[in-house]
């Protein structure tokens, strides 16, 4: 499998890069959290009614089985006030939240919620380029300190975008060199560095796909993680991204279970709700994940299409609350 043919991940066309950069510049009003997590945080259009063929639990719903330790990525639910969102997450039985400004951590703690993962340097300017190593190292270290302070198990890291003049081999070596050094502090603090694989195929929205991202193949990501050779270097298994780039998510999870420390969910295509109108069948996927002995967080990271975003979240949580 290590030598399997890679899916295409060519450098992003200059016209696409220009359009993408212009689009991202328009989101500077929310740059604080974006800089921390590398995420798009501006309001997203979500005005569709709940489909009639979807069974959505009511406002009094709470996790029943609790086998899956569920979290949620808060950025997907912006611009909902966190004073509304956090209590709602606790009420439905979630264990943690991520992708949220650290100023809200005390509110989360008040409601019994943990921090499932912390951010670091973002997905654009990553260790693929050695010129980024110094700035990424500081952000990684700050993320590790924050994770240790709030009892979070990990910090997300990314490869960064492909750049002209940096070959795949050089990009691979640059990333491994950076993470080997970063893992020294991660090991000291007992915090995981968690590499997130992202898809490069969906160019419909800056947070549905990431054309030009280097770590877009689970085989490449796993090769880099194994080359780092640290017990604190792990994989963030995003079911949505894996499905788009490599498919076969259950088999891929089983094959790499010893290196996975975090999971994200979303429906495909569209990074939408986990309903029956998308192609992934989440109950058997979640069951297969749990059958491997995985006991880390499973975080909902879909972008709601429904106008009632909390109804969408309750539905996703219920889908993943397998017996």
* Per-residue model confidence as pLDDT tens digits over 73-114: 999 999 999 999 999 999 999 999 999 999 999 999 999 999
Name every residue whose Cβ is closer than 8 Å to that of residue 121 and which is 6 or more positions away in sequence.
38, 132, 135, 136, 139, 140, 157, 158
Cross-strand partners of 114 = 96
pLDDT of residue 323 exceeding 70, the answer is: yes
Q: Which of 215, 230, 222, 214 is nearest to 257 (CA)?
A: 222
Whether residue 79 is preceded by a cis peptide bond, meaning omega within 30 degrees of 0, is yes
For the stretch 194-240, pLDDT in tens is 999 999 999 999 999 999 999 999 999 999 999 999 999 999 999 99
Query: What pLDDT sits at residue 2?
Result: 41
pLDDT at residue 37 in the model: 62
* pLDDT > 70? residue 3: no
What's the CA gap between 272 and 301, in Å, rounded?
Answer: 9
57 inside domain: yes
Match 């990501």 to its residue by tokens.
Answer: 221
C-alpha separations of 283 from 153, 193, 258, 274 in Å: 25, 28, 21, 10
pLDDT above 70 (res 153):
yes
pLDDT of 36 higher than 80: no
Spatial distance between the Cα atoms of 110 and 90, rounded to a whole number of angstroms: 10
**Mean pLDDT for all residues in the chain:** 89
Instruction: Write the CATH number for 126.
Output: 3.20.20.150
Structural domain includes residue 43? yes
pLDDT at 308: 95
Note the pLDDT of residue 80: 95
CA dihedral (144, 141, 229, 158) positive or negative: positive
CB 274 within 8 A of CB 302: yes
Percentage, residues of the chain above pLDDT 90? 82
User: In the numeric block, which tokens belong to residue 225?
Assistant: 């993680």
Contact predicate 287/322, CB 8 Å: yes
Number of structural domains found in the chain: 1
pLDDT of residue 51: 86
Beta carbons of 164 and 10 less than 8 angstroms apart? no
Distance CA 163, CA 177 (A): 17
In a domain, 124, yes or no: yes
CA 278 – CA 289 distance, rounded (Å) = 20
Higher pLDDT, 31 or 64: 64
Q: How many CB atoms lie within 10 A of CB 46?
A: 16
Q: How far apart are CA 16 and CA 290, in angstroms?
A: 39
Mean of pLDDT values over 258-272:
98
Give the residue numbers spanning the domain of 291: 31-320
Q: What is the pLDDT of residue 52?
A: 85
In a domain, 24, yes or no: no
- Which among 60, 15, 32, 69 is positioned nearest to 263, based on CA atoms? 69
Asked if the structure places residue 23 within a domain, the reply is no
Q: CA 35, 11, 166, 4 torsion: positive or negative?
A: positive
3-class secondary-structure state, position 297: strand
Which is nearest to 108 in space by CA: 125, 95, 127, 119? 95
Position 53 scores a pLDDT of: 87
| Torsion region of 50: left, alpha or beta (phi above 0 gives left; psi -120 to 50 gives alpha) | beta
- Res 23 pLDDT > 60: no
* Residue 120 falls inside a structural domain: yes
In a domain, 116, yes or no: yes
Paired residues of 262 in beta bridges: 236
Per-residue pLDDT at 44 exceeds 80: no
Alpha-carbon gap, residue 316 to 293, rounded angstroms:
22
Contact 188, 238 (CB under 8 A): no
Residue 202 lies in a domain: yes
Report if pTM > 0.85.
yes
Label residue 152 by pLDDT band (50, 70, 90). Answer: very high
CA separation for the pair 281, 278 (Å, rounded) = 8
Residue 155: pLDDT band (50, 70, 90) is very high
CB-based contacts of 67: which residues, under 8 Å, 6+ apart?
290, 321, 322, 323
């Amino acid at each position: 499998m290590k030598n399997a043919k890679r899916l295409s991940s060519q450098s992003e066309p200059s016209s696409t890069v220009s359009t993408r950069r212009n689009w991202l510049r328009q989101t500077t009003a929310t740059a604080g959290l974006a800089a921390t997590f590398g995420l798009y945080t501006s309001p997203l259009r979500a005005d569709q009614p709940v489909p009639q063929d979807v069974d959505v639990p009511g406002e009094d719903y709470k996790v029943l089985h609790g086998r899956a330790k569920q979290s949620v990525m808060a950025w997907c639910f912006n611009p909902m006030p966190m004073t509304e969102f956090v209590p709602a997450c606790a009420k439905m039985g979630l264990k943690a939240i991520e992708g949220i400004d650290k100023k809200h951590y005390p509110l989360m703690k008040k409601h019994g919620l943990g921090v499932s993962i912390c951010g670091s340097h973002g997905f654009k300017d990553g260790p693929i380029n050695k010129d980024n190593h110094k700035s990424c190292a500081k952000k990684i270290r700050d993320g590790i300190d924050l994770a240790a302070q709030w009892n979070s198990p990990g910090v997300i890291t990314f490869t960064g975008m492909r750049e002209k003049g940096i070959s795949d081999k050089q990009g691979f070596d640059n990333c491994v060199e950076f993470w080997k050094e970063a893992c020294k502090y991660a090991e000291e603090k007992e915090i995981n560095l968690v590499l997130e694989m992202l898809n490069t195929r969906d160019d419909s929205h800056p947070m549905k796909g990431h054309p030009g991202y280097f770590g877009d193949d689970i085989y490449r990501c796993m090769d880099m993680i194994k080359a780092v050779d640290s017990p604190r270097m792990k994989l963030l298994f995003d079911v949505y991204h894996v499905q788009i780039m490599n498919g076969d998510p259950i088999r891929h999870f089983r094959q790499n279970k010893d290196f996975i420390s975090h999971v994200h969910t979303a429906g495909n295509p569209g990074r939408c709700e986990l309903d029956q109108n998308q192609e992934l069948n989440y109950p058997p996927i979640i069951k297969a994940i749990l059958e491997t002995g995985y006991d880390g967080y499973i975080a909902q990271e879909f972008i709601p299409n429904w106008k009632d975003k909390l109804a969408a979240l309750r539905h996703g949580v219920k889908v993943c609350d397998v017996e």
